[in-house]
């Protein structure tokens, strides 16, 4: 074997090993997601065996099992899959765009925009259904995203990470004050809003997931399209430009993806915390810094975490339940602490 051949083999071998490891991780996470999805359909105040779940899905007979699976558990499980994916991928995008490991989908004021949309729908237009809230929540989130990027573009450094974060934080605070004022002025609005703002999957029918799915699909496709650009941004703007990437375009496309994903998720399920913050850290720990793999791993982990949290919430306090948003916070906080400690130990 010549020296050149030996050097090439030494370079390719670790790359192949890394690719195989990532592929195994993806397969394992896909199996985990399938298991969690089955648990979402089978477990609750009345557990059902897998055979009954399957029969209820493919050959419903109108019995109790079919009603439980198709009308109660299937809609919230499907919504959990969609929202979990959206929040996790949006978190990866936010942390990459702002180069801030503590960034989450709320950082651009998008969640607050969705909240304003929902409150206005209730207080001004009298909308009283979750399916009705969704469109207003998405519209408020999209408008907030446009305002953030518009204001950031008018500054001297345009869409820099610091500018985006500062403008987003200011908008989040301002819209939060608007929401508080509207709720304080109308007790009925507060009663309607508090069910949504806790964050959860209960009470949503399948139409809610159908309504937000196009926004999640568009955001996911944009995220995939900018994955290589996000890799370059990690080395700084000058290096990214040197590699042939248009930094402004990458940030705008990535930000648009985050806005679509976060707006759809928050409008459908309320402001669920920690999925968009903790999952990206776990995805990078498993898949490394290549955003094509990180996004894929996050897209599998996010739904597993959210649907799993929903199942736990049903089981810990029967016959009642704890909203999934509370469970994700209880799970996500210690998970994030463990991940941060691992990063510090590895760096030190």
Give 117-122's long-range contacts (Cβ < 8 A, gap of 24+). Answer: 117/141, 117/143, 117/267, 118/193, 118/196, 118/267, 119/178, 119/179, 119/182, 119/183, 119/189, 119/193, 120/182, 122/188, 122/189, 122/192, 122/193
Cβ neighbours, 10 Å, residue 190: 16
pLDDT on residue 42: 93
Each of the 348 residues of the chain gets a pLDDT tens digit; together they read 455 554 544 555 677 877 788 899 999 999 999 999 999 999 988 889 999 999 888 888 878 888 999 998 999 999 999 999 999 999 999 888 877 777 777 777 888 888 888 888 888 887 777 777 788 888 888 888 888 877 776 765 555 667 777 788 888 888 888 888 888 877 777 777 777 777 888 888 888 899 889 999 999 999 999 988 887 777 676 676 776 677 777 888 888 898 889 888 988 888 888 888 889 989 998 988 889 999 999 999 999 999 999 999 999 877 788 888 889 888 777 776 776 666 555 445
Take residue 346 and report the two structure tokens written for it. Answer: 């590895």
81-106 b/e with 16+ CB inside 10 Å = b?
Answer: bbbbbbbbbbbbbbbbbbeeeebbbb
Q: How far apart are CA 229 and CA 236, in angstroms?
A: 11
Question: Buried b / exposed e across 13-45, counting CB within 10 Å, b at 16+?
Answer: eeeeeeeeebeebbeebeeebeebbebbbbbbe
Contact 272, 199 (CB under 8 A): yes
Cβ neighbours around 63 below 10 Å, total: 11
Structural contact between residues 58 and 66, judged by C-beta atoms closer than 8 angstroms: no
Question: For residue 191, what are the CA distances in angstroms to 94, 130, 134, 188, 279?
Answer: 32, 13, 17, 5, 31
Strand, coil or helix: 104: coil
- Helices and strands counted in the chain (H then E): 15, 0
User: What are the C-alpha distances in Å from 102 to residues 92, 265, 281?
Assistant: 11, 19, 9
- CA dist., res. 6 & res. 179, Å (int): 64
Please, what is the Cα angle at 70 between 64 and 71, to 5 degrees?
85
CA distances from 252 to 230, 235, 257 (A): 12, 18, 9
Number of Cβ atoms within 10 Å of the Cβ of 177: 11
How would you label 205-224 residue by residue, b for 16+ Cβ within 10 Å and e otherwise?
beebbebbbebbeebbebbb
* Distance, CA of 255 to CA of 160 (rounded, Å): 12
Please state the separation of Cα 229 from the chain's center in Å. Answer: 20
Identify the structural domains of the chain with CATH numbers, from first to last. Answer: 22-347 (1.10.3470.10)
């Amino acid at each position: 074997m010549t020296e050149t051949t030996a050097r090439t083999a030494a370079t390719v071998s670790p790359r192949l090993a890394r690719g195989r490891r990532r592929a195994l991780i993806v397969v394992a996470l896909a199996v985990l997601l399938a298991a969690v999805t089955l648990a979402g359909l089978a477990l609750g105040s009345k557990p059902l065996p897998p055979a009954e779940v399957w029969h209820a899905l493919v050959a419903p007979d109108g019995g109790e099992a079919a009603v439980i699976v198709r009308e109660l558990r299937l809609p919230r499980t499907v919504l959990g899959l969609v929202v979990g994916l959206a929040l996790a991928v949006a978190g990866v995008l936010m942390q990459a765009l702002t180069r801030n490991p503590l960034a989450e989908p709320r950082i651009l004021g998008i969640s607050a925009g969705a909240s304003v949309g929902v409150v206005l729908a209730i207080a001004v237009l009298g909308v009283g259904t979750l399916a009705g809230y969704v469109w207003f929540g998405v519209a408020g989130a999209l408008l907030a995203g446009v305002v953030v990027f518009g204001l950031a573009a008018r500054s001297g450094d345009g869409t820099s990470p610091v500018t985006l974060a500062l403008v987003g934080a200011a908008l989040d605070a301002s819209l939060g004050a608007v929401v508080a004022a509207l709720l304080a002025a109308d007790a009925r609005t507060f009663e309607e809003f508090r069910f949504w703002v806790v964050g959860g999957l209960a009470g949503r029918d399948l139409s809610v997931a159908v309504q937000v799915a196009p926004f999640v699909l568009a955001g996911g496709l944009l995220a995939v399209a900018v994955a290589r650009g996000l890799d370059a941004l990690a080395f700084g703007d000058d290096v990214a430009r040197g590699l042939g990437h248009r930094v402004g375009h990458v940030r705008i496309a990535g930000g648009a993806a985050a806005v679509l994903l976060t707006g759809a998720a928050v409008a459908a399920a309320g402001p669920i915390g920690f999925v968009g913050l903790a999952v990206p850290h776990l995805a990078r720990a498993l898949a490394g810094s290549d955003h094509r793999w990180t996004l894929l791993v996050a897209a599998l982990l996010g739904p597993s975490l959210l649907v799993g949290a929903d199942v736990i919430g049903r089981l810990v306090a029967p016959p009642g339940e704890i909203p999934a948003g509370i469970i994700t916070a209880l799970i996500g906080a210690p998970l994030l602490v463990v991940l941060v400690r691992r990063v510090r130990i590895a760096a030190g």
